[in-house]
Structures are given as C-alpha cells and as structure tokens.
Amino acid sequence: MGFSWLAAAYCLWKVMFHAEQDILFMSKKEADAKEILYKVKFMYTHLPTFIRIQKVQDSASSIELGNGSRIVSLPATEDSGRGFAGSLVIIDEAAFIPWGETVFGALRPTLSTGGSIILQSTAPNAGGENLFARLYHDNVENGFHRIVGPSQESKSKQMVHWSDNPDRDEKWYEEERPGYTDRQWATEMEGDFAQSSRRVFPETILTLHEFDTNPITKEQTKITWKTGNFGELYNEEPIEGERYGIGVDVAEGLEKGDYTVAQIIKKSTGKQIGIYRTKIPIINATEEIVKLAAKYNNAILAIEDNSIGVAAIQIAKKRYNNLYRRKVLDKKTDVWTEKLGWRTTKRTKPLAIRELELALRDRSVLLTDPTTRRELWQYEYDDKGNTNAPQGSYYDDCVMSFAIAWQALSQVKNPESRSERIERNKRRKRKMLKRVRNSSIGY
C-alpha cells in the first residue's frame, strides 16, 4: 500500500468518525486528484454497512456525508484552496505542485484556525526554493514534523526508504536496480530528493554542521542570531585583534533577480559569523557592505569581479582600502600584476567550490546559516560537469559568496598570540642592534 492509499484511508477515517470535518486533497493534475478521491470512495463502498455514514452528495471532485463532513479533491492551480480554512489539507506529490509557494500561502489559514497540512512526495530535482524541499529542510522552524520509517536507514535520513517495505529485500533490489539510472534510483527509491548522484556537497558533509537556528525567526537552541545596524544577520560581535574575511556575490538589485550576498568568516576558527542578503540597488548594497567590513576590524573584502561586480568594486575602492587583490599575468609584458576583486572563471570556480567542500569536510570552515546550508544542499553538477543551482527558481548566491569569503581568507594571516608578538619584537630588536653595531664599526 502506497502513501496515497494511506492518506485516503486517513481522510476517510476522519470524516467517518468526526463530524463537521472539511478536508481538501490536492494533487498536481486533475486526473491525479480524481484518482485519490476514487481511493476514498473505493474504501467507503467496501466498509460494513453498519459503519458507513450515509452520503448526501457524491461527485467527481467531492464526497459529503450526513454528519456534515466532506472531502474535496482538486488539482493544483494558482487559485486552488484560496479561502479554504478547513480541518485538514493533504498535498500529494508536493514537490511537483505548480505554483507550490503560492498554493501553500493560500492554504495557511488552515493552520491558523487549528487545522493541519500534510505534504507527501517523491521529489526528483527538488532544491532550495521548491516548496517540499524547503519545508522538509526547515521543518522544525516551519512547525512541520518529518515522517520517519521504521528502519535504521529511514531514521538516519528521516524519510521512508525502499527497505521499509517488507516485500522488498536484497533479492528484490538485485532484480529491480538494473532498470533505473543512478539518478532515478536515488530519487525514487532512496528518498534522496536532492539527487545525491549530482550533489556537490553531500549530506554526510552538511550533517557535520547541524544546527537548530533560523536567523529569520530568531528561534535558536545553539546559536543566537541578531540583526545588525547594516541589516546583516550575525551571531558574533567583532573581537579586538581578530581577523575576518568577507566574500560578496553581487546582483543588480532587481526584485525578481538574484540576491547580493556578503558572507563573514572568522579567521581563527573558520566560523561563519554573519550574512548580509539583499535585493537593494548595487550602490546602496555596496555602501552597506563596506560599513560592515569596517565594523569587522577592517576585514579583507573580496567582491566578485564579474559584470555588475565591477561597478561594486569601483564604488568600494573609493571608500575602503582593504580590498582583495588577485595576481594576474600580463601576457603582453609577461609581468605579474594585481587586480581588485575575485574573478570567477572556468578555472577558478571549480577550485573555489572544491576548496570549500574540503573545508566543510574537515571543519576548517564552520557553517551556521540555514539559508546557506539549503543552497549548499541543492547545489549540483549539471550534465556537462559544471556546478550550479538547479534550473528554475533556485539561488546559489550564498554558495558563491561563501566560497569567495573562504578564498579571501587565504590572504589573511592568523592573529598573533602574545608569545608570537613578544618573539617578533625580540627579533626586531636584535636586527636593530646588529644594524647599529655594523654602522659603528664602519665609522
């Protein structure tokens, strides 16, 4: 029995034994919605007569019982469920629902009136901005609970695994597995809706950086996030003598475009201590980021030198002096020069992403922000082996700014300890004395 049958059985139980229940069952297409209602009606007709409550209305899209309870089944459209404030909403194949965020927003009144929403899905190609993926990843912050299957595999993944089905064993696996590609098997049978075969940052790495904090709602158990003077979210104030690196992925500042994101990393621990994410115009965003860099002990500021980033660098260099510089070989003169900003190319991007992945793996860098984590989790290889966010309404601004910040720190030396500072001063005095003695002998 699949989850659609279980959901249909739950709906039937609820309307049979509870009066005045208003239930909405939603799926991605009209045919799918009718199929779900068919399952409800099939079970209803096979119940013993003494249990069944008399139907007062029965159509292709709904069924209503004599106790005032009803089930409505609808396909997902932009207006589906708008104004519905019933006792239960079940969204089947939620990862494939068109206009998922719009539909979910329209159904929020169900929660505010004490009702419940259940989302179930397989989810190939679901990423950070996909409704199901977003709610799955941020389930605690959004008030949702993940359904956990009985096997150890399911408990580790917090989702139902193919091995939870008692009819599926290793023999079944050996017979069925050859009929699927790696990608199909990972998403349809392993419950891996981030497509593990394409994932750049595996779940095993990201789980090393688990946290229970949502910087938007400020709910926390481990990390306290605060909103700074410049609109950034931060979990640690600048410390005197500490060094910091800031990476910036620049966008145009359009309402429907990408975000401009600045990430702050602490040099001594590698901890991600702040993030600034905005869609305001580039001039205003750059000014705020410069203020942020100055606040964090004149942090090294690495702005991506691509398209609109050139303008941001020109604005920043008039107001700030500690900008990241990359070495560039002048092909005409064969002389190495320095240029401002981080340049993302076919050579430097794989390098930056790979070094970030290694740093996350050995915890040289410590991830704390849920938005960055969600983007890392969905970040994937495409068919040509390049790394990007999946096609559609997805972002990788946090990923790139995080990688750039980590590269920027390569130009920053660790803060000196007291003993190192004393030893450096001793060496300086010895050199000065030696210089004085040499000059005296020469005289």
- Regions of the chain with pLDDT less than 70: 1, 81, 83, 111, 123-130, 133-134, 136-161, 181-197, 204, 210-223, 230, 392-393, 413-418, 420-421, 439-443
Residues 6+ apart with CB under 8 A from 374: 128, 134, 137, 138
Structural domain harbouring 427: 419-443
Do 398 and 262 lie in a common domain?
Answer: yes
Q: Cα separation of 328 and 334, whole Å?
A: 10
Which domain-ending residue is among 203, 218, 245?
Answer: 203
Domain identity same for 278 and 325: yes
What is the CATH number for 159? 3.40.50.300
**Contact of 392 with 129, CB cutoff 8 Å:** yes
Verify that 305 and 425 share a domain, yes or no: no
Other Cβ atoms within 10 Å of 243 Cβ, number: 19
Same-domain check for residues 441 and 369: no
Instruction: State the DSSP string of 202-237.
Output: -HHHHGGG----BTTTTB-SS---EE-TTS-EESS-
Domain boundary among 154, 172, 203: 203
Whether 320 and 303 have beta carbons less than 8 Å apart is answered as: no
Answer yes or no: do 355 and 256 share one domain.
yes
| Contacts of 42 by beta carbon, 8 Å cutoff, 6+ apart | none
Same domain, 371 and 439: no
What pLDDT score does 40 carry? 92
Chain centre to alpha carbon of residue 327: 33
Query: Do 172 and 127 fall within a single domain?
Result: yes
> DSSP string of 407-430?
HHGGG-PPPPPHHHHHHHHHHHHH
**How far is it, in rounded angstroms, from Cα 303 to Cα 245?**
11
**Confidence at residue 220, expressed as pLDDT on a 0 to 100 scale:** 40
Residues 126 and 190 in one domain: yes
> What is the DSSP annotation of 290-356?
HHHHHHTTS-EEEEB-STHHHHHHHHHHTT-S-B-EEEEEETTTTEEEEEESBPP-TTHHHHHHHHH
Q: Does 98 lie in the same domain as 28?
A: yes
Verify that 39 and 127 share a domain, yes or no: yes
Annotate 302-317 with b (16+ C-beta within 10 A) or e (fewer). Answer: bbbbeeebeebbebbe
pLDDT score of 68? 93
* The token pair that represents 304 in the structure block: 């991506």
pLDDT of residue 63: 92
> Does residue 83 come out as left (phi exceeding 0), alpha (psi in the -120 to 50 range) or beta?
left
Give residue 86's Cα distance to chain centre: 31
Are residues 23 and 105 both part of a single domain? Answer: yes
SS3 assignment, position 85: coil
Helix (H, G, I), strand (E, B) or coil at 168: coil
Q: What is the CA radius of gyration of the chain?
A: 28
Residue type, 287: E
The residue out of 164, 188, 203 marking a domain boundary is 203
Query: pLDDT tens, 323-348?
Result: 999 988 777 888 888 899 999 998 89
Would you report the helix, strand and coil content of the chain in percent, each value rounded to 5? Answer: 40, 20, 40
My answer on whether 13 and 39 are in the same domain is yes
Domain count, the chain: 3
Among 376, 403, 401, CA closest to 390: 376
What is the pLDDT, as a whole number, of residue 226? 77
